[in-house]
Amino acid sequence: MQNSPYSFLKTKKMIEILDGDTKYESYKCKNGVAIEIAMPNLSGKDICDISTAFGFPQNPTGKSRWQYFEQLLDDCIKTGKAVELLNYLFSPGQFAEKLKGYSQDVKNEAYQAIVNYIINVISEKLRTSGTELVFVNKNIVARPIGNNVVVQSSKIKEISRDYIKSISSRAMEDVEQHNFDSAITKSRTLLEEIFCYVIEQKNQAPSEGGNIGNLFKQVKDLYHMHTDPNTDKRVKNLITGLNSLVSAIAEMRNKDSDSHGVGAKRINIDEHHARLFVNAAMTMADFILSVENKINKHN
């Protein structure tokens, strides 16, 4: 592991960049909006959830965020998943919370600017060791400066039922604490992640813009949902109802979640409604994962 080109990530300074602790100057978008340049801030729970998604469960037992992240890096480097981890950390979905509330044009522009800036900062810090961080076949890889590296396109992470349960459990904790906005946000984020994951399992890029309805349409098209003439119409009706489910979760987040301040369109939500949203998102995520598993792994 000492000879891995990704061992450099294990320094505290690098971890502080990747977990969002290190802040840089603000980026000024074309419309004048200024957004702080930094990676999304990851809590200890966030890092443990990422570890679970990559197949290395960690329990939040009071260690520092730096220790959780170092363990995640250790596991990924040892198992050859460092590229996947970098791709995940720099993926658009990870920046959803950081860029919430902005227009889609601003989100796209700021995302690209932040990622390019951070990649350049890391590369500059590595130059003395003769290593750079670059994009190769849409993957972020470390390589000796000036060398060509060929890598196979890889998925950003492995989403499992344990991961779905972990996110849903955190959302239910929010419900128990009457933090309904956060619970709904997690429900929507879970669906976004599962949609992006199954799309990437088909070697396709998720649709631009992060529109959850567009992502779901892409999933249905790629996995030929609704198109089997032999499917019982009652099953088809059930699947058709998923459209309403996705639409409702997306709309509720727009009006009720912690992505927006209180306004004229904001309505109150009761605990039983929040529980319904969390459970519905978990059921939907589990169903989509089951479809992906059947088609991609059991054909």
Q: What is the pLDDT of residues 179-201, one digit of tens each?
A: 887 788 778 878 888 888 888 88
Residue owning tokens 């991961």: 163
Q: Rounded to an integer, what distance in angstroms lies between the CA atom of residue 62 and that of residue 223?
A: 42
Within 10 angstroms of residue 282's Cβ, the number of other Cβ atoms is 21
Q: Which residue has the higher pLDDT, 156 or 216?
A: 216
pLDDT value of position 266: 47
Q: Which residue has the higher pLDDT, 136 or 231?
A: 231
Q: Which residue has the higher pLDDT, 216 or 255?
A: 216
pTM of the model: 0.53
| CATH number of 161-297, picked from 1.10.1760, 1.20.120, 1.10.3470, 1.20.140 | 1.20.120
Q: Which residue has the higher pLDDT, 48 or 248?
A: 48
Mean pLDDT across 121-139: 70
pLDDT value of position 259: 43
Going by C-alpha positions, the residue among 66, 279, 32 that lies closest to residue 172 is: 279
Q: Tell me the backbone φ, ψ of residue 135, rounded to 5 degrees.
A: -90, 125
Q: Convert the pLDDT of each residue in 13-31 to its tens digit.
A: 889 999 999 999 888 888 8
Torsion of the alpha carbons at 6, 107, 112 and 84, rounded to the nearest 10: 30
Q: Convert the pLDDT of each residue in 94-103 to its tens digit.
A: 888 888 888 8
| CATH 1.20.120 domain position(s) in the chain | 161-297
Contact, 143 vs 4, CB < 8 A? no
Q: Convert the pLDDT of each residue in 131-140 to its tens digit.
A: 777 766 556 7
Q: Rounded to an integer, what distance in angstroms lies between the CA atom of residue 155 and that of residue 110?
A: 24
